[in-house]
């Protein structure tokens, strides 16, 4: 005797397939399906509700309710039992619907005499599409097999909806993946971009959800699993030795790939009438639903792994590789769950914009996107589920907003904004070769931050006075092994050549914290931002630091050289780092290499402790650069990567300004050159306030130089200083409101 599950769902799917093959389209097709489900399951009613927009469900077809209510009856997410099924993505099965929590009576449908209710979410890969409902007059609790059968049908309906099977004549159904969507994320890199979606990992399309022969499908599934296991083993043997994290993930993959429970559930779905790929997707949908509900970060990650493996299985089964052959569209905007810095660099400047579902402001990808000046929005909701390759998309990197398939009104407003920005760019270009001199005659040196060779052309186009911060770790981050000294020397030499005599301040390697090198042993620290990073690593394990210092001396080849040590927290670290440099110079002299014509050695002030260092430190340092990103995080004890707390403390907070002013005073006393090179230096209002309290050198992203210079040239620092002082005296928490008011009235 066949298994009961098989009989219910196979019977239903068989009939469904016949109905779908009949060639009807749109509404007629939906009506037919509700009719045959009601008949097969011996219910009085079968209805299909589909999402009209993110919040509203619409009755799209029914057998048994009043026909005039079709496309008229609508429910909000969470409203009534149908809304509850959609909101919770969970089955509701009850013999006595009116006594059920959330029941809402809808007289227009004529359902008053109905007693039992079975509602199944229609969803595809975690994306809710609607609800499939059957109801009877007689009280009846549906059996597990009946529920399962209807779940399988809902799965097929989701696939058919995805494929557009219910669009067309009279269906009044907004086709999926055609509606406009807005995603609100966080700013990763400012700027606006308009273009077309280019999915980093295109979604796999399943065109054959129903299958005749379960044995053939099970065999296909087995073969796919065999190939999956082989590829996981290959990945494991290719993983770098000592990379604990990657090995752990792959071990988990191997465990899943051998999990009997997972395979058995898929085989059950095949037995129920689904094809092998539809069975994988059914399990994947279930995993994604669980994923959204699991509060535990570790478990959520494991469900992510399972999701990743399911994608791999689907690619094997459908023959669609990670490259589905989709052409890179014109003006590509990369859409991905997340992406590594190396992959991002492979795409390079061909991308107009980037939208990530995950990521953080301080992540490697964000650093690279900033270096390439590509607008980036991070934490942008479930965009990879919604976007299709080639979809029109607009990225507002200033606000952290993404418009997918925007309608005309949104598109026009967006383009107006971009046109205004272009106007501003013209204004900035016209002052490119003019000095950043304020109305009261004070000159501020504006330099740029860089990290890649590709940044150097901006030196000319932005009008920067030089490179105030060259982050050398980017070169280490984008490779898969430690670069050789010769390679580095050649690269730094090219940087100096491209700078054509303008000063470049090279910061030695700042790894650790969020910047973990793929080929170095991860340290497993509870708090890496305050852990073994930057100069701490350089001094404890000086091999790489020495190699880097030698490369810099060789690159300078008799030209002036500026070297800066990151994350110096106490005087002694600076002394030790200088000693390393002195030894490197000695070695190079012995090897008869030309020594730099002049040598400036500075420190980054990124921890509050250094602001209170002995006077001798300030005397010894040739220059100091305030790394505001780190300094602010440690000053306020607010993680720079944690969006929630990061925004809580304003840079123009009186305490922080007072603190900066103290650093300025100490540097003035010893005549130590001081600059500010954190992201805040590139924000015009912040830059103006820094200048007003006495900073004379600011280093920023090249794109910020125009806007900062424009504001400085229009302002009198003396007046801004008066506004700041008055605000400070008033007991205000931040001087920003007062400065903004002053700017508006000037
Ligand atoms: C800083 O901390 O402000 C800085 C410039 O260094 P990074 O952002 O590379 O840590
Ligand atoms: Mg820093």
Let me know if the fold of 214-318 is the same as that of 436-744: no
Q: 561 pLDDT exceeds 50?
A: yes
Would you kindly state where each structural domain of the chain is located, as residue ranges?
Answer: 3-173, 181-202+324-407, 214-318, 436-744
Ligand 1 pocket test target in 363, 455, 469, 471 with most atoms within 8 Å of CB: 471
Name the closest-CA residue to atom 4, ligand 1: 627
Nearest to 512 by CA among 618, 615, 364, 645: 364
The domain defined by 181-202+324-407 folds into Glucose Oxidase; domain 1 (3.50.30)
In a 3-state reduction of DSSP, which class is residue 609? helix
Cβ distance 282 to 13 under 8 Å? no
Q: What is the pTM of this model?
A: 0.67
Is residue 510 in contact with ligand 1, taking CB distance under 6 Å? Answer: yes
Q: What atom of ligand 1 comes closest to residue 631's alpha carbon?
A: 2
Is CATH 3.20.20.60 correct for 436-744? Answer: yes
Taking the centre of ligand 2 as the mean of its atom positions, its distance from the CA of residue 696, in whole angstroms, is: 20
Q: Say which residue the tokens 């004070």 belong to.
A: 442
Residue-wise pLDDT for 160-185, tens only, equals 776 666 655 444 344 556 788 899 99
Q: 2 pLDDT exceeds 50?
A: no
- Is 364 catalytic? The answer is yes
Q: What atom of ligand 1 comes closest to residue 510's alpha carbon?
A: 9
Catalytic residue of the set 364, 403, 667, 689: 364
Residue-wise pLDDT for 484-537, tens only, equals 999 999 999 999 999 999 999 999 999 876 666 766 666 678 888 899 999 999
Ligand nearest to the CA of 470: 1
Average pLDDT for 607-627: 98
Q: Which CATH class is domain 214-318?
A: mainly alpha
Stretch among 174-188, 389-403, 414-428 having the lowest mean pLDDT: 174-188
Q: 471 pLDDT exceeds 60?
A: yes
Is residue 678 in contact with ligand 1, taking CB distance under 6 Å? Answer: yes
Is CATH 3.20.20.70 correct for 3-173? Answer: no
Ligand nearest to the CA of 629: 1
For the ranges 364-378, 455-469, 566-580, the one whose mean pLDDT is highest: 566-580
Q: Give the DSSP letter of residue 356.
A: E
At 3 the pLDDT is: 45
Taking the centre of ligand 1 as the mean of its atom positions, its distance from the CA of residue 443, in whole angstroms, is: 25
Ligand 1 pocket test target in 678, 682, 686, 699 with most atoms within 8 Å of CB: 678
Residue-wise pLDDT for 115-159, tens only, equals 899 999 998 777 788 999 999 999 999 998 889 888 888 888 887
Stretch (H or E) spanning 58:
strand 56-63
Is residue 468 in contact with ligand 1, taking CB distance under 6 Å? Answer: no
Which pLDDT band, with edges at 50, 70 and 90, does 19 fall under? confident
Taking the centre of ligand 2 as the mean of its atom positions, its distance from the CA of residue 506, in whole angstroms, is: 14
Is residue 606 in contact with ligand 1, taking CB distance under 6 Å? Answer: yes
Ligand nearest to the CA of 625: 1
| Token pair of 201 as six digits | 């990992």
φ/ψ region of 358 (left if φ > 0, alpha if ψ in -120 to 50, else beta) reads beta
Q: H-type helices in 134-272, by residue range? A: 144-162, 214-238, 244-257, 260-271
Is residue 357 in contact with ligand 1, taking CB distance under 6 Å? Answer: no
Q: What atom of ligand 1 comes closest to residue 567's alpha carbon?
A: 2
Cβ distance 83 to 76 under 8 Å? yes
Name the closest-CA residue to atom 1, ligand 1: 627
Is residue 627 in contact with ligand 1, taking CB distance under 6 Å? Answer: yes
Is residue 332 in contact with ligand 1, taking CB distance under 6 Å? Answer: no
Q: What atom of ligand 1 comes closest to residue 626's alpha carbon?
A: 3
- Is 593 catalytic? The answer is no
* Phi, psi at 571, each rounded to 5°: -50, -45
Q: What atom of ligand 1 comes closest to residue 473's alpha carbon?
A: 9
């Amino acid at each position: 005797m066949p298994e009961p599950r098989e009989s219910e769902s196979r019977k239903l799917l068989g009939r469904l397939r016949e109905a779908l093959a009949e060639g009807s389209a749109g509404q007629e097709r939906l009506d037919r399906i509700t009719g045959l489900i009601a008949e097969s399951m011996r219910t009085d009613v079968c209805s299909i509700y589909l999402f009209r927009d993110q919040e509203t469900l619409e009755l799209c077809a029914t057998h048994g309710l009043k026909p005039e209510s079709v496309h008229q009856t609508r429910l909000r997410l969470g409203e009534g039992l149908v809304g509850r099924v959609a909101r919770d993505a969970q089955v509701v099965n009850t013999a006595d619907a009116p006594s059920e929590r959330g029941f809402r009576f809808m007289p227009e449908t004529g359902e008053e005499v109905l007693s039992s209710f079975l509602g199944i979410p229609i969803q595809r890969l975690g994306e809710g599409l609607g609800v499939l409902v059957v109801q009877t007059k007689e009280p009846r609790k549906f059996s597990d097999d009946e529920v399962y059968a209807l779940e399988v049908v809902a799965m097929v309906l989701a696939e058919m909806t995805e494929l557009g099977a219910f669009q067309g004549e009279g269906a009044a159904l907004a086709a999926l993946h055609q509606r406009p969507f807005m995603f609100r994320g966080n700013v990763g890199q400012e700027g606006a971009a308009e273009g077309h979606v280019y999915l980093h990992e295109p979604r796999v399309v399943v065109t054959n959800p129903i299958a005749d022969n379960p044995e053939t499908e099970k065999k296909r599934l087995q073969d796919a699993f065999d190939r999956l296991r082989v590829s996981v083993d290959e990945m494991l043997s290719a993983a770098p030795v000592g990379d604990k994290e990657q090995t752990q993930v792959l071990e988990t993959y191997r465990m899943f790939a051998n999990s009997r429970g997972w395979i058995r559930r898929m085989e059950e779905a095949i037995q129920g009438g689904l094809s092998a790929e539809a069975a994988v997707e059914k399990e994947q949908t279930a995993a994604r639903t669980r994923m959204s509900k699991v509060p535990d970060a570790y478990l959520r990650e494991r469900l992510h792994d399972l999701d990743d493996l399911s994608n791999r299985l689907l690619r094997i089964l459908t023959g669609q590789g990670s490259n589905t052959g989709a052409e890179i569209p014109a003006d590509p905007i990369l859409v991905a769950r997340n992406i590594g810095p190396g992959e991002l660099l492979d795409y390079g400047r061909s991308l107009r914009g980037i939208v990530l579902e995950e990521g953080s402001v301080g992540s490697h990808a964000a650093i690279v996107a900033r270096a390439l000046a590509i607008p980036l929005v991070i934490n942008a909701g479930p965009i990879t589920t919604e976007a299709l390759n080639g979809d029109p998309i607009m990225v507002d990197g200033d606000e952290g907003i993404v418009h997918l398939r925007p309608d005309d009104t949104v598109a026009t407003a967006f383009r107006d904004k971009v046109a205004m920005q272009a106007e501003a760019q013209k204004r900035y270009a016209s002052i490119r070769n003019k000095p950043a001199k304020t109305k009261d005659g004070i000159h501020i040196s504006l330099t740029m931050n860089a990290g890649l060779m590709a940044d150097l052309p901006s030196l000319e186009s932005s009008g920067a006075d030089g490179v105030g911060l060259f982050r050398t770790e980017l070169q280490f981050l984008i490779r898969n092994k430690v670069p050789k000294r010769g390679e580095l020397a050649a690269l730094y030499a090219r940087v100096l050549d491209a700078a054509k005599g303008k000063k470049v301040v090279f910061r030695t390697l700042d790894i650790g914290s969020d910047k973990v090198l793929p080929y170095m042993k991860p340290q497993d620290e509870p708090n890496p931002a305050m852990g073994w990073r930057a100069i701490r690593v350089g001094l404890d394990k000086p091999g790489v630091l020495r190699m880097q210092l030698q490369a810099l001396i060789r690159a300078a080849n008799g030209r002036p050289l500026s070297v800066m040590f990151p994350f110096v927290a106490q005087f002694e670290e600076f002394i030790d780092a200088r000693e390393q440099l002195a030894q490197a110079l000695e070695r190079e002299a012995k090897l008869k290499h030309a020594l730099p014509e002049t040598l400036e050695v500075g420190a980054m002030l990124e921890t509050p402790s250094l602001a209170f260092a002995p006077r001798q430190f300030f005397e010894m340092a040739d220059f100091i650069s305030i790394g505001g990103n780190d300094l602010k995080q440690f000053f306020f004890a607010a993680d720079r990567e944690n969006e929630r707390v990061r925004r809580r403390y304003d840079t123009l907070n009186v305490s922080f300004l007072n603190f900066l002013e103290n650093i300025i005073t100490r540097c003035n006393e010893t005549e130590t050159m001081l600059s500010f090179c954190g992201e805040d230096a590139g924000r015009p209002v912040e830059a103006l306030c820094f200048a007003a309290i006495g900073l004379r050198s600011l280093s920023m992203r090249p794109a910020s130089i125009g806007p900062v210079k424009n504001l400085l040239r229009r302002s009198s620092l003396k007046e801004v200083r008066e506004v700041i002082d008055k605000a400070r005296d008033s007991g205000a928490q931040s001087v920003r409101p007062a400065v903004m008011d002053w700017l508006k009235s000037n």
